[in-house]
């Protein structure tokens, strides 16, 4: 049991941290592990163990947000641009600004960004965790990134990139 905990603690806590925020992450992560240990005996193996644990994490996080009602879901009109940092701080500031923008995203978008971009899971894994189709997953990721771009404001590349991306 403890081995399982140590194997998944970073990812479970990391996901919960970025979806519900720092203050409630521990509570949610505890809830997830309690559910995992209680449900392990009845785990039917329909999906990979990791997928099941991450699904529990995302569901517990979203349920926690709903119960708490702390975050008001932000619509398109409610998006606010974050102020640009001074040039000297650009490298260290990008992560902080991304975290701040993540915090303003609707919970569903936050979940897909955390799973795919932050945790590096594939679309297939994300769709299994979120229990949706791969196409829906891709579409949600596209919308989530677009919203993040809105939040961060145009010209992110100019302000933060060390050089031109090799992807283009």
Residue 156 in the binding site for another protein (CB under 8 A)? yes
Cβ neighbours of 15 (radius 10 Å): 28
Stretch near another protein under the rule CB under 8 A, chosen from 14-22, 45-53, 56-64, 77-85: 14-22
Residue 157 in the binding site for another protein (CB under 8 A)? yes
Q: Given the complex with another protein, which of 30 and 50 has the nearer CB atom?
A: 30
| CA separation for the pair 79, 22 (Å, rounded) | 22
| CA separation for the pair 147, 105 (Å, rounded) | 8
Residue 164 in the binding site for another protein (CB under 8 A)? yes
Binding-site member from 40, 48, 100, 161 for another protein (CB under 8 A): 161
Which alpha helices (H) appear in the chain, and where do they start and end? Answer: 2-20, 22-39, 49-68, 90-104, 107-113, 123-130, 134-152, 156-160
Residue 58 in the binding site for another protein (CB under 8 A)? no
Residues found near another protein in the complex (CB under 8 A) = 2, 5, 9-10, 12-14, 17-18, 25-26, 29-31, 33-34, 37-38, 42, 94-95, 98-99, 113, 117-118, 120, 123, 138, 141-142, 145, 148-149, 152, 154-157, 160-161, 164-165, 167-168
């Amino acid at each position: 049991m403890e081995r399982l905990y140590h194997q998944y603690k970073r990812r479970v806590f990391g996901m919960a941290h970025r979806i519900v925020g720092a203050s409630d992450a521990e509570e949610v992560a505890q809830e997830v592990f309690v559910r995992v240990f209680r449900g392990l005996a009845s785990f039917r193996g329909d999906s990979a163990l990791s997928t099941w644990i991450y699904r529990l994490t995302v569901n517990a996080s979203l349920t926690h947000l709903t119960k708490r009602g702390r975050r008001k879901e932000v619509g398109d009109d409610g998006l606010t641009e974050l102020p640009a940092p001074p040039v000297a701080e650009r490298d260290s500031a990008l992560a902080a600004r991304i975290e701040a923008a993540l915090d303003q995203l609707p919970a569903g978008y936050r979940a897909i960004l955390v799973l795919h971009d932050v945790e590096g899971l594939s679309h297939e894994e994300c769709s299994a965790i979120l229990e949706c189709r791969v196409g829906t997953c891709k579409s949600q990721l596209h919308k989530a990134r677009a919203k993040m771009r809105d939040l961060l404001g145009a010209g992110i590349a100019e302000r933060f990139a060390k050089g031109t991306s090799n992807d283009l």
